[in-house]
């Protein structure tokens, strides 16, 4: 693998025991550069190889909707690894503490782990790096072009990061080698992972129902990819119409790292769809996703208005005292009890399915800004609802998207207006010009939403 994907997190000395791959973002056995690097180290040193996962009791407001999807996916990873003579250990408790304890007990040669741009994960990795006696090496298997290799600073917008990514794409968009059966067995007894007991013991919110349209695991994600390429990629130019069914629906599997964005790009570029559709999809998959990781890595205040560009902060401050004809609290928003039937239907889509159409996510967030007393209140509400209901919440893409919608991150100033100032505005009339709002409200709204829509005609 290209060693520019790697980043040393400490200066530890290799131990005499196994090589460990600490899985925490890339939840897959296939197409995983971190796991492949760990196996390469183990083979060269003649050591056993194991995968370890630290299951935290809570993670950024995730509910059983997200934890269930994760745990069911990890069971599939365990089975796939077992067939390759690679044990999987599910550890319970504080992840960096448990990983350091496990590595110390086994005299680990090296720990290889996943790159993650989120603040909490950076804290985990820093704590583990300090506690481990052996080397801790981070591998970026999330981004096709590694985040650290693309840029060492926060990029202003897509047009500034795009040429940097495109220059590196030929180097990094390469085929994956297969993960091989590991020839050195794990000494002693293998793990006993009680996934059912772990699920039952989690003290997380179980009131948000798990979804049935998205099955976890690499095979399910690749199945969705094949369906997208065969049935929807050719219509990708219709992706901003929530009724068109032209989007990939891959975000749950990409978010949980159950499929690789690099694998998705390789397959999409070979698809028989028109070149314009392939190129547009790869632009979204590569440039926009990798811009989000760049943002969160270099702006650790990504969930605060302090991350907004100066022009947006000044403009929003100027309009703090503007009259707001509609004000909604968190209960109203969560219950889809606003005067806007389209917003309500989008909120209901998210609550029911753990997914909201991409164009509507922008509209949804901007309306929260319009209906909140302050930008700070709007930001808190948007992040809380996104992370509670979306399968792909608690993700760099989500934080960057909300910061774009509310605070002009990766955008430019627009014509000044009340409340929004110079932050880009979106409205109901514009949605009606773009797609059949009535059809979407009919699909996801309730009787009250349909009545509201009728009254607006």
- C-alpha distances (whole Å) from 46 to each of 32, 39, 53, 197, 418 are 21, 10, 23, 35, 66
Give dist(CA 231, CA 225) in Å, integer.
10
Instruction: Give me Rg for the CA atoms of the chain.
Output: 23
Q: Does domain 305-455 have CATH number 1.10.579.10?
A: yes
pLDDT of residue 457: 76
Q: What is the per-residue pLDDT across 105-155, written as a single tens digit (0 to 9) for each?
A: 999 999 999 999 999 999 999 999 999 999 999 999 999 999 999 999 999
Give dist(CA 329, CA 139) in Å, integer.
42
437 in Cβ contact with 452 (< 8 Å): no
CB 30: neighbour CB atoms within 10 A?
18
Q: What are the sequence ranges of the domains in the chain?
A: 3-141, 143-176+218-299, 305-455
3-state secondary structure of 60: coil
Per-residue pLDDT band at 429 (split at 50, 70, 90): very high
73 in Cβ contact with 256 (< 8 Å): yes
The structure tokens 């390759």 sit at: 84
Instruction: Retrieve residue 227's tokens.
Output: 């369906």
Q: What is the per-residue pLDDT across 321-375, written as a single tens digit (0 to 9) for each?
A: 999 999 999 999 999 999 999 999 999 999 999 999 999 999 999 999 999 999 9
CB 334: neighbour CB atoms within 10 A?
16
Give dist(CA 403, CA 304) in Å, integer.
9
Give dist(CA 245, CA 235) in Å, integer.
9
Strand partners, 113: 22, 138
3-state secondary structure of 163: helix
Q: What is the distance, to the nearest Å, from the Cα of residue 401 to the centroid of all Cα atoms in its chain?
A: 11
Per-residue pLDDT band at 430 (split at 50, 70, 90): very high
pLDDT of residue 231: 95
* Residue 189 pLDDT exceeds 80: no
- Read off φ and ψ for residue 53, nearest 5 degrees: -130, 130
Q: What is the per-residue pLDDT across 27-85, written as a single tens digit (0 to 9) for each?
A: 999 999 999 999 999 999 999 999 999 999 889 899 999 999 999 999 999 999 999 99
CB 103: neighbour CB atoms within 10 A?
26
Give dist(CA 409, CA 267) in Å, integer.
31
3-141: CATH architecture: 3-Layer(aba) Sandwich (3.40)
Of 255, 247, 190, 244, which Cα lies nearest the Cα of 224?
Answer: 247
Q: What is the percent of the chain with per-residue pLDDT over 70, rounded to a whole number?
A: 100
143-176+218-299, CATH topology level: 1.25.40
pLDDT of residue 425: 97
CA angle 41, 44, 50 (to 5 degrees): 45
Q: What is the per-residue pLDDT across 275-331, written as a single tens digit (0 to 9) for each?
A: 999 999 999 999 999 999 999 999 999 999 999 999 999 999 999 999 999 999 999
pTM of the model: 0.96
């Amino acid at each position: 693998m290209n060693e520019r994907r790697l980043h040393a997190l400490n200066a530890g000395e290799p131990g005499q025991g196994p090589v460990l791959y600490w899985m925490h973002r890339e939840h897959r056995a296939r197409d995983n550069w971190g796991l492949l690097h760990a196996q390469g180290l183990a083979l060269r040193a003649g050591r056993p190889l194991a995968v370890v996962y630290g299951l935290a009791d809570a993670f950024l407001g995730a509910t059983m909707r997200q934890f269930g999807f994760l745990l069911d996916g990890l069971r599939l990873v365990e089975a796939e690894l077992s067939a390759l003579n690679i044990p999987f250990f599910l550890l319970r408790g504080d992840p960096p503490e448990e990983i350091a304890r496990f590595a110390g007990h086994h005299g680990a040669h090296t720990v290889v782990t996943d790159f993650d741009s989120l603040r909490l994960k950076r804290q985990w990795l820093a704590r583990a790096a300090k506690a481990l006696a052996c080397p801790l090496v981070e591998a970026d298997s999330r981004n096709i072009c590694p985040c650290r290799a693309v840029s060492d600073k926060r990029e202003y917008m897509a047009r500034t990061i795009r040429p940097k990514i495109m220059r590196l794409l030929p180097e990094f968009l390469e085929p994956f080698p297969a993960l091989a059966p590991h020839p050195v067995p794990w000494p002693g007894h293998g793990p006993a992972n009680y996934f059912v007991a772990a699920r039952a013991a989690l003290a997380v919110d179980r009131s948000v129902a798990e979804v049935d349209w998205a099955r976890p695991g690499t095979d399910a994600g690749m199945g969705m990819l094949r369906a997208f390429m065969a049935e929807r990629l050719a219509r990708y130019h219709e992706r901003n119409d929530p009724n068109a069914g032209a989007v990939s629906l891959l975000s749950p599997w990409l978010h949980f790292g159950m499929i690789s964005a690099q694998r998705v790009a390789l397959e999409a570029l070979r698809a028989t769809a028109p070149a314009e559709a392939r190129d547009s999809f790869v632009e979204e998959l590569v440039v926009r996703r990798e811009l989000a990781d760049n943002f969160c890595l270099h702006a650790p205040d990504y969930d605060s208005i302090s991350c907004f560009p100066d022009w947006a902060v000044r403009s929003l401050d100027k309009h703090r005292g503007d009259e707001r004809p509609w004000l909604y609290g968190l209960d109203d928003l969560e219950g889809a009890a606003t005067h806007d039937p389209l917003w309500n239907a989008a909120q209901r889509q998210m609550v029911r399915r753990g997914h909201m159409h991409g164009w509507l996510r922008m509209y949804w967030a901007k309306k929260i800004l319009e209906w909140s007393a302050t930008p700070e209140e709007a930001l808190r509400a948007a992040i809380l609802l996104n992370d509670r209901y979306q399968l792909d919440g608690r993700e760099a893409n989500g934080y960057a998207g909300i910061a774009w919608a509310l605070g002009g991150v990766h955008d430019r100033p627009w014509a000044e207006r009340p409340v929004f100032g110079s932050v880009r505005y979106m409205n109901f009339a514009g949605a009606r010009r773009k797609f059949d709002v009535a059809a979407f409200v009919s699909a996801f709204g309730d009787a009250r939403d349909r009545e509201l829509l009728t009254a607006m005609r």
